[in-house]
Amino acid sequence: MATEAPARAQTWNPDSYGTHARFVADLAGAVLEWLDAQPGERILDLGCGDGVITEALARSGVHMVGVDSSADMIEAARARGVDARVMDGEALTFDREFDAVFSNAALHWMTRPEAVVQGVARALKPGGRFVAEFGGHTNVAAIITAMRAVGLRRGGDVSLAGPWFFPTPDEYRALLERNGFEVKRIGLFGRPTPLKTGMAAWLKVFRKPFFDQFGAEADAAVAEVEELLAPSLRDQSGNWTADYMRIRVEARLAR
């Protein structure tokens, strides 16, 4: 009997995301300060996920629209009362309608960044702002390297270990500037991120396609990655920390 090839695309389960990745929204305080959303503004949340941040902004009087490519996440966002739509971030269809576009922990999943930034530029009113935080250069480097080592050892597809877009600030600044933005501020900083529910859970939520390729051996592969990472990312009490690096940026579209 032919077995179906494991899916290569990342998929999301809102329940498991809520349990193992709630820190993503909890850690968004600084980028929300940069956004400085005002009641009455119309703001697009690009890659809104399950809509936790979108809902909080809407409650403060901002007219929010959330988009995400995951239908399951959009369903979860709608259940919170968010105006949420399934849309590919690399093919945004809005036209000069938002005061700001906001994005937290989503842009690194979109591997055609030029198309994303062009869509953001089209979505903004002239002079509108783009405020985002996402993974930057060297983000989760140790985790990716450990996955690649296990992939090599097991004869797997190592390209599935790290499919993300993690630019340097210089690269991202250049991308914005050639698409009509003026960069107000941009920086790359380390944000060691405690994983309260552990490394295995993080690996299974955020890099599912890599482990799915090993079929019945998926859990064994997860355990091997953990073993490689433990000396550097697990403390003596057994707590895990992920080696996150973030880019935070505020840019304005020309008038």
Task: Give me 125's structure tokens.
Answer: 């009113």
DSSP one-letter code for 137: T
The residue within the footprint of ligand BEZ, chosen from 120, 121, 140, 251 (CB under 6 A), is 140
Give the DSSP per-residue string, 24-40: HHHT-HHHHHHH---TT
Report in angstroms how near the CB of residue 109 gets to ligand BEZ at its nearest.
Answer: 8
φ, ψ for residue 121, nearest 5 deg? -60, -40
Rule CB under 6 A: say whether 139 interacts with ligand BEZ.
yes
| CB nearer to ligand BEZ: pick between 94 and 172 | 172
> Whose Cβ is closer to ligand BEZ: residue 34's or residue 164's?
164
Contact 111, 164 (CB under 8 A): yes
23 binds ligand BEZ (CB under 6 A): no
| From candidates 45, 48, 49, 108, binder to ligand BEZ by CB under 6 A | 108
105 binds ligand BEZ (CB under 6 A): yes
Minimum separation from the CB atom of position 31 to ligand BEZ (A): 12
Q: Which is nearer to ligand BEZ, 240 or 244 (CB)?
A: 244
Q: CA–CA distance from 50 to each of 37, 55, 114 (Å)?
A: 20, 9, 25
> Nearest-CA neighbor of 24 among 246, 235, 172?
246
Cβ pair 68, 49 in contact under 8 A: yes
In one-letter notation, the amino acid at residue 136 is G
> Near ligand BEZ by CB under 6 A, which window of 57-65, 94-102, 132-140, 172-180?
132-140
Query: What is the number of H-type helices and E-type strands within the chain?
Result: 11, 9
- Choose the binding region for ligand BEZ from 47-55, 62-70, 123-131, 134-142 (rule: CB under 6 A): 134-142
Structure tokens at 59: 């409650």
Q: Which of residues 215-244 bind ligand BEZ (CB under 6 A)?
A: 244
Q: Name which of 62 and 147 has its Cβ closer to ligand BEZ.
A: 147
| 195 is a contact residue toward ligand BEZ (CB under 6 A) | no
How many Å separate Cα 55 from the centre of its chain?
A: 18
Contact positions toward ligand BEZ, by CB under 6 A?
105, 108, 135, 139-140, 164, 206, 244
